Amino acid sequence: MLRQYELVDLVKSCDQDADEDALNRAYVFAMKKHGAQLRASGDPYYSHPVEVAGILTKFKLDCASVIAGLLHDTVEDTDTTVEEVRQLFGDQVASLVDGLTKLAMIEQKSVYTKQAENFRKLLLAMSEDIRVLLIKLADRLHNMRTLHFLAPEKRTRIARETLDIYAPLAERIGMQEVKSELEELAFCELYKEAHDSIIARLNFLREQGSNLVPKIIETLKKDMEENGVKCQVTGREKTPYSIWRKMQQKNASFEQLSDIMAFRICVDDIATCYQALGIIHSKYHMVPRRFKDYISTPKPNGYQSIHTGVIGPENTRIEVQIRTHEMHEIAEKGIAAHWAYKQGQKAEGKNFRWIRELLEILERASNPEEFLENTKLEMYNDQVFCFTPKGDLIGLPVNSTPVDFAYAVHSSVGDTCVGAKINGEIRPLRTVLQNGDQVEILTSKAQHPSTEWERFVVTGKAKAAIRRYVRSSKRDQFIVLGQEILEKMFKNEGLEFSEKGLLSVMPNFEAESINDIYAKVGEGLVSGWDVMKAVYPAYKQSKLEKVVKAIKVPTFQKKKKNTEPLKIEGLIPGMAMHFAGCCHPLPGDRIVGIVTTGKGVAVHRADCKALERFAGEPERWLDIAWGEGAENQNHTGRLKLMLSNEPGSLGEISNIMARNDANISNLNIVYRTVSYFEIMVDVEVKNLDHLNSVIADLKSSKVVSYVARSA
């Protein structure tokens, strides 16, 4: 652990104007506040913030950041308040500490929800000051270095969170060293066998070619010197995690990877970079599709370098990276390499495009979990680079489509896009974009996001925007439906319906407006009877209660005593029964019955999503099963299909149905483009096995690209 004077010396070596008194006071304050607290390793707890501060000095951060590193856990884990930190160490330090403090008081049940809410707060804090993220990365780095002291379950959760969120965040601000170490520590915890296997293979390679790397470095140096290029040449091995990830992505074995060894040539200026590239390509054979120029097209985090794969010295396949010394410094240390805080300045995270995009996702997400899911999608770094018609560069994840491109340009462009021209040709919106494509988005004010888009977009920003629109349009429908339900119910009971009455009971239903009540009733989250009871409390002893009692037929009392499932044909004589249109149950499915007012029993599949709305009404559930002979009659199953938009496609579907002794009873075209269309088909079959047989035959057809049973 760093001693007090050692930490002060490290800070002053980077910043001669550092406030030595404040550093000393913060060091002592952290020790006193954490007092007798111990870490899982048995070390004093204050050793952790001191080590975090030490990591921050290696980032060459300013004095305020190091002080915040010393105090980052005091508000969360001791009786310290943000206001106390503000009084003792100033606004800047207090703001940083507050941004780093987890939401210790949130009471959500889900660990995942807590994680999502904490990350949401972190994002908002780092959008105001990017130093919050750098301190958080230092905190996570030290926690990962000491992860082995924790219980296995906690180790796994923290390692997964590190791999999903913090390593990509480090990559986004260009901190390659931090990203690589976080990935390695998490990889070793989550995939121990794979990690150890790759380490063993790397050790074997080192033994086999112990003098190979020095030979290649010497040869490359000689090649440069002979052509008058002054440079520094180094060799490196890819990290075990990056090797494993590439094996997964390319479905390749360890031996098939060509760039396990990489050699870096650092020169003085950009012109010399291209001169060095010419020398390498003129002397060695280039490996096809292994060339990338990140100097002319930098990565979103500012990374610049030329990468090329060649059959190099000693007839070995290697990757050569060519960059300037300044590019190398930025590649390794990212944002910390050109620091803006030496004069006490504050760099707003909003200046970074990727943070602005995450803030847009936050604004559109309906809950913290959805935000975290879309954020993970947004942060992975495999990218394709496409151009607008004006030549602006847009970086997108691999497998992105024109819809992703449209939302990357601007949210309003995404919301109104109706088509796209890729390299001058009109192409479907689901087309996968390739490196170098020029994309022109066609828009219409009459267009709105389509639910179909969510099936093929890959960026978190696009998914968040589509989901927000769908939620909004569904809410409008629920409001109209809920109002109709309440008006009809009040009228049937002979009661006056007025919005004034609803205003008085809004707190009962945690509603901020009358529309909230309508929406909850329309969606089935609140019963219309409950709203009526709230508006007319005295009315609960009259006709309304009789209706409720009438629903509770004697069968329910019988069910408590006898756990044997009721047969469908054995329901109460005369009770109406129908199959639910939301899930189309078939013999072979597990089923349940729901008593509905005026409509008898609705038979649902046991996994039907519509059952969630009846979770709080156990008296309406019936335990039922298929009776004998159920398979002797036809039942309707519903399929969702994606077909090629070409002559004969529907005829092919009809032939397949006939071949399987099934009959189409209804067909609806849901969505149509130039190249494909999506349809919903109601098909009459005997049972679940019969439907699965039809699905299997459909999947074998060349005109069917997708088929599944519709919920």
Q: What is the CA radius of gyration of the chain?
A: 32
With 70 as the cut, is the pLDDT of residue 107 above it?
A: no
Which of 576 and 262 is assigned the larger pLDDT? 262
What's the rounded mean pLDDT across residues 341-352? 45
What's the rounded mean pLDDT across residues 73-87? 91
Instruction: Give the least confident one: 221-225, 316-320, 435-439, 456-460.
Output: 435-439
CB 226 within 8 A of CB 271: no
SS3 293: strand
With 50 as the cut, is the pLDDT of residue 371 above it?
A: no
Helices then strands (H, E): number in the chain?
29, 20
User: Is 98 a known active-site residue?
Assistant: no
Residue in 17, 76, 269, 487 annotated catalytic:
76
Specify the fold of 202-338.
Answer: Beta Polymerase; domain 2 (3.30.460)
Report the distance separating Cα 361 and Cα 382, nearest Å: 20
CB 652 within 8 A of CB 621: no
Structure tokens that stand for 137 in this block: 């990365």
Using alpha carbons, select from 70, 69, 76 the residue that is nearest to residue 29. 70
What's the rounded mean pLDDT across residues 389-414? 85
Confidence (pTM): 0.52
What's the rounded mean pLDDT across residues 321-338? 77
pLDDT, residue 229, reads 92
With 50 as the cut, is the pLDDT of residue 343 above it?
A: no
Highest mean pLDDT range out of 124-128, 586-590, 627-631? Answer: 586-590
pLDDT, residue 563, reads 39
With 80 as the cut, is the pLDDT of residue 439 above it?
A: yes
Q: How large a percentage of the chain has pLDDT more than 90?
A: 20
With 60 as the cut, is the pLDDT of residue 70 above it?
A: yes
- Tell me the β-bridge partners of 269: none
pLDDT, residue 576, reads 67
Structure tokens that stand for 670 in this block: 């849901």
What's the rounded mean pLDDT across residues 177-201? 90
CB 97 within 8 A of CB 68: yes
Could you say which architecture CATH assigns to the domain 4-193?
Answer: Orthogonal Bundle (1.10)
With 90 as the cut, is the pLDDT of residue 87 above it?
A: yes
CA distances from 568 to 455, 559, 582, 601, 669 (A): 38, 14, 19, 10, 34
Amino acid at 533: K
pLDDT, residue 545, reads 46
What's the rounded mean pLDDT across residues 101-124? 52
Work out whether strand 417-422 and strand 439-443 pair parallel, antiparallel, or are unpaired: antiparallel
What's the rounded mean pLDDT across residues 594-619? 78
**pLDDT band, very low/low/confident/very high, at 685 (cuts 50, 70, 90):** very high
Q: Give first-to-last CA distance, the chain, whole Å.
A: 58
User: Is 183 a known active-site residue?
Assistant: no
Mean pLDDT, the chain, integer: 79
**pLDDT band, very low/low/confident/very high, at 710 (cuts 50, 70, 90):** confident
pLDDT, residue 670, reads 84
CB 417 within 8 A of CB 441: yes
Structure tokens that stand for 155 in this block: 């180790």
Domain-wise residue ranges, the chain: 4-193, 202-338, 469-549, 552-631, 634-709
Phi, psi for 448 (deg, rounded to 5):
-135, 160
pLDDT, residue 104, reads 36
**pLDDT band, very low/low/confident/very high, at 664 (cuts 50, 70, 90):** very high
- pLDDT of 235-259, one tens digit each? 877 788 888 887 777 677 776 665 6
pLDDT, residue 360, reads 57
DSSP 525: S
Q: What angle do CA 321, 327, 330 make, to 5 degrees?
A: 120
Specify the fold of 634-709.
Answer: Alpha-Beta Plaits (3.30.70)
**Residue 511: count of CB within 10 angstroms of its CB:** 18
Residue in 19, 20, 43, 77 annotated catalytic:
77
